[in-house]
């Protein structure tokens, strides 16, 4: 079975702190994604990576950066956390599919971040 593991299920941070959210997948997938999920707003894409060291901005990249130094690991970084970044963060991975760009998506368990 595909496994996408997010290192922290729950985090509480203070405004201005630097926050790292880690995601590891074990299926050798090319594509990896970071979403945030908020009530009433649904899932919104923050960043997408289609290969090692490659990244593309999603719909809401402001205030976030990412790192993909190894194929299996995709990190989301909040350089200076703010209260409006309190949210559920979801990592996903998928295989690259010719023509469609992405195959079936597999999500991690999510990281609930609270910024005080």
| Segment near another protein (CB under 8 A); pick from 14-22, 43-51, 62-70, 76-84 | 43-51
C-alpha distances out from residue 88 to 12, 47, 59, 72, 98, Å: 12, 15, 16, 21, 31
Binding string to another protein for residues 9 to 38, with x set by CB under 8 A, is what?
Answer: ----------------------x-x-----
| DSSP per position, 97-112 | -TTTS----EE---EE
DSSP annotation of 52 reads T
Residues touching another protein, count (CB under 8 A): 29
- Phi then psi dihedrals of residue 26, to 5 deg: -115, 15
- Phi then psi dihedrals of residue 84, to 5 deg: -75, 0
Q: Which of residues 49-108 bind another protein (CB under 8 A)?
A: 50, 56, 58, 88, 90, 92, 96-97, 99-108
**Measured from the CB of residue 17, what is the shortest distance to another protein in angstroms?**
23
Using CB under 8 A, list all residues that contact another protein.
4, 6, 31, 33, 42-43, 45, 48, 50, 56, 58, 88, 90, 92, 96-97, 99-110, 112
């Amino acid at each position: 079975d595909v496994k996408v593991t997010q290192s922290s299920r729950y985090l509480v941070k203070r405004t201005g702190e630097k926050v790292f959210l880690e995601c590891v997948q074990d299926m050798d997938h090319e594509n990896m994604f970071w979403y945030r999920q908020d009530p009433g707003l649904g899932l919104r894409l923050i960043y997408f990576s289609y290969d090692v060291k490659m990244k593309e901005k999603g719909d809401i990249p402001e205030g976030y950066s990412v790192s993909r130094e190894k194929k299996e690991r995709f990190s989301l970084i909040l350089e200076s956390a703010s209260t409006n970044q309190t949210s559920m963060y979801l990592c996903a991975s998928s295989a690259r599919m010719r023509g469609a760009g992405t195959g079936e998506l597999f999500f991690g368990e999510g990281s609930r971040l609270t910024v005080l």
